[in-house]
Structure 1
Amino acid sequence: MKYSIVFLFLLFLTGCKSEVAKSISIKEDVTFLSDDALEGRQTGTDGEKAAADYIAKRFEKLDAQGKGTNGFLQPFTFKPKTNPHQKVKYNVKEGDSTITGTNVLGFINNDAENTIIIGAHYDHLGYGAEGSLHCGEKAIHNGADDNASGVAVMLNLAEKLKEKNTNNNYLFMAFSGEEMGLLGSNYFVKNPTIDIKKVNYMINMDMVGRLKADSTLAVYGVGTSPILKQTLKAHNENFKLIQKESGIGPSDHTSFYNADIPVLHFFTGQHEDYHKPSDDFEKLNYKGMQTISNYIFNIISDLNDNGKLPFRKTKNESEETPRFKVGLGVIPDYLFDGKGMRIDGISEDKPAQKAGLQKGDIVVKLGDSVVVDMMSYMKVLATFEKGNSTKVVVDRKGEMVEANIEF
């Protein structure tokens, strides 16, 4: 579908007026946000602004209050980093080298003492900004899974939580600037529009659209409050849960964890379409997304009577991650909990492809080192340099296959 942004938006508004009682489905939200007309929703572009207007209208339709600095919107102007170690400067004057992102905030006021924040980033990579894994001609990166999926589940939860579980208020947030370094969530935490000390906990959904056949769901931040693990377990009837203690990771929950707020981050795993133009709405598992939304709703319902959750610091697992001078050119299956490192995708013209490795292979040995999990794989990979060669052993459907790797 390649409508103009204006036509698409007017079509949605007309639907709102003529079918007030009709709920908008998760699939309809994803389809709008990942349409070519929004041109990949890169931070500060017209496509991102159209997405922000759409989300604001969705909040309005759900009877949420605007909780930005301008109605539902919280714009922030920044100067992009020129090197990875530089801090982003906010609130600079608009000019040739500045970008304006926009958070979108909808508030359900239950006159409660504390507020739960439920968020998802809505920006993406436009035509292939930094972070794109696409090697071909310039193309729109629609970001259906990353992260129209998270926004759609957030909006679905907003509809579920109206006038329910009223012991907390709810602030629903669509973050801008995530792909450029968690900018929108970081800006909000530093410039909150509610009392940040009254935030009970934060739930983040980033890439929840590709639930696989084995129903593996990763949940990060389970160690950030003592009650979270048992609550997740108590309501799990559908998933093979992969629970991670740390409150720090490459998504917006990290900004809130760093403000001493308990967090939960939901994720269905990477795939071959990650950060590529092929991440389109037709490939999402909408039944799985609805099941995830129901699961999160049940968790919130269970915690409704628990008051303000105590915060607990967790080990920062990212500090232990080795630095690499070379790579195999694979997408690891981060949700694999067996022995070894399972390959979820192969990049073109990289060492793994040249060595004949395949999607689904499980790396069990690299050089002289046994690979038992993701961390052991990363530690041994960090010992190699460009120009090195070594042997790799993979488990391919029960058969041990050896290949030569040239870095």
Structure 2
Amino acid sequence: MNRSPFPILLTAALVLSGCVAAPAAPVEQAPAAAVEMGPSQLLEDVRILSADDMEGRDTGSPGGERARAYIVSRLEAIGVQAPPFGRLQPFQASGRAAEGVKAFSGVNIVGLIPGTRVPDRYIVVTAHYDHVGVSGDQIYNGADDNASGVATMLEMATRLKANPPEHSVLIVALDGEERGLLGAREFVRTPPVPLSSISLNLNFDMTARAETDGHLWVTGTYQHPQLRPVLEAVAQQGQVSFAFGKDTPQDTGENNWVDASDHGAFHEAGVPFLYMGVDYHPDYHRPSDDFERITPAVFTSATEIAIAGFRALDRAMDR
């Protein structure tokens, strides 16, 4: 995640597609027997993506290429089809680097899961797979930032293949987030579907380390208040509950996350967005953001509530 204190200029007006019917009673959770959570695979995805041989997954690096190959293999194993334009969306863009602005070659990874009720409306689920690479002899493995978000997204894709969503869903692993939301900007610049057909961007960035306050934070309900009651009805999962905020005019600097990750590019383009992620922790953007620092039960609970939140939004939107 790139929680910069210097906000991106957001010039586009917000456009909300359809309407949301807030539930009158708590959202019924899917029965446990319907689709079992796969904690072993969830953790294995994070372990592999944050291993030393991924070399911090910097955009355009050999480690980033290895991470991309792994994610593609997982989508294929899950059975997530490629959209008509193809699985990969390569791009070149100028982005931030230690030595200043430089050119980066990145690749977004895209999968499509058709919807059952409104197949011509899309929820774009995103998580960036890049991190900041290597500095000197230290590898920045980025287990929480953002191997965790990718793993949560892959678990969601597994669930959606077993129990199809009402909206069509684009599963998008974005590149170049740490260099200035490069992959997200490319996606909204050349989207595989019209932006007007996207009901929501749901972005996962840092979903593992909720033990600090027991919350998976939701940013974007200040901009889209009709979505908050939908998520407020989602029950706490294990040790993790939703918290709302970091998106008001009173939230300043690094405490405002409206443009802090890839959802910022969607917001700038006028696409409704929600971001889900944990609060800062001492390993954020440090070489110590390693797999061994993740508490499995907490990460599993955060992934469960993220998926439950998606299901509630999927049912409520465009009615």
Aligned pair 1:265/2:268, yes or no?
no
Other-structure match for 2:115 = 110
Structure 2 CA distance, aligned partners of 1:40 and 1:98?
A: 18
Question: Which amino acid in structure 2 is aligned with residue 72 of structure 1?
Answer: R
**Please, what is the CA RMSD of the aligned residues?**
2.5
The Cα of 1:56 is off from its aligned counterpart by 0.9
The Cα of 1:54 is off from its aligned counterpart by 0.8
Structure 2 CA distance, aligned partners of 1:82 and 1:43?
A: 11
Structure 2 CA distance, aligned partners of 1:83 and 1:224?
A: 33
Other-structure match for 1:281 = 291
Other-structure match for 1:119 = 126
SS in 2 for 1:203: strand
Gaps of 5+ in 1: 1-21, 89-96, 129-136, 310-407
Match of 2:245 among 243, 246, 258: 243
Which stretch has the larger CA shift, 259-268 or 31-40? 259-268
Structure 2 CA distance, aligned partners of 1:188 and 1:165?
A: 24
Residues 26 and 286 in structure 1, CA contact (< 8 A), matched pair in contact too: no
Structure 1 CA distance, aligned partners of 2:109 and 2:277?
A: 21
The Cα of 1:176 is off from its aligned counterpart by 0.5
Other-structure match for 2:10 = none
Instruction: Report the CA distance shift for 1:83/1:190 in structure 2 as closer, same or farther (over 3 A).
Output: farther
Correspondences of 1:321-332 after superposition (within 5 Å): none
| TM-score, normalised with respect to structure 2 | 0.77
Gaps of 5+ in 2: 1-36, 249-256
Deviation by residue 1:10-42 (Cα, 9 ceiling, x = unmatched): xxxxxxxxxxxx966111000110011111100
Instruction: Report the CA distance shift for 1:101/1:82 in structure 2 as closer, same or farther (over 3 A).
Output: closer
Identity %, equivalent residues: 35
Match of 1:66 among 72, 82, 100: 82
- Rg larger for: 1
Which stretch has the larger CA shift, 296-305 or 113-122? 296-305
Residues 68 and 105 in structure 1, CA contact (< 8 A), matched pair in contact too: no
Residues 165 and 301 in structure 1, CA contact (< 8 A), matched pair in contact too: no
The Cα of 1:82 is off from its aligned counterpart by 8.3
Deviation by residue 1:241-260 (Cα, 9 ceiling, x = unmatched): 24344572210011111122
Residues 56 and 106 in structure 1, CA contact (< 8 A), matched pair in contact too: no
Structure 2 CA distance, aligned partners of 1:33 and 1:225?
A: 33
Deviation by residue 1:297-342 (Cα, 9 ceiling, x = unmatched): 2222223333438xxxxxxxxxxxxxxxxxxxxxxxxxxxxxxxxx
Residues 231 and 313 in structure 2, CA contact (< 8 A), matched pair in contact too: no
- Structure with bigger RCO (C-alpha 8 Å, 6+ apart): 2
| TM-score, normalised with respect to structure 1 | 0.61
The Cα of 1:168 is off from its aligned counterpart by 0.4
Structure 2 CA distance, aligned partners of 1:79 and 1:162?
A: 36
Match of 1:46 among 38, 62, 81: 62
The Cα of 1:65 is off from its aligned counterpart by 1.5
Other-structure match for 1:37 = 53
More helix by percentage: 2
Aligned pair 1:101/2:116, yes or no?
no
Structure 2 CA distance, aligned partners of 1:25 and 1:140?
A: 24
The Cα of 1:214 is off from its aligned counterpart by 3.8
Deviation by residue 1:102-153 (Cα, 9 ceiling, x = unmatched): 111111123612011111111011113xxxxxxxx53111110111011000
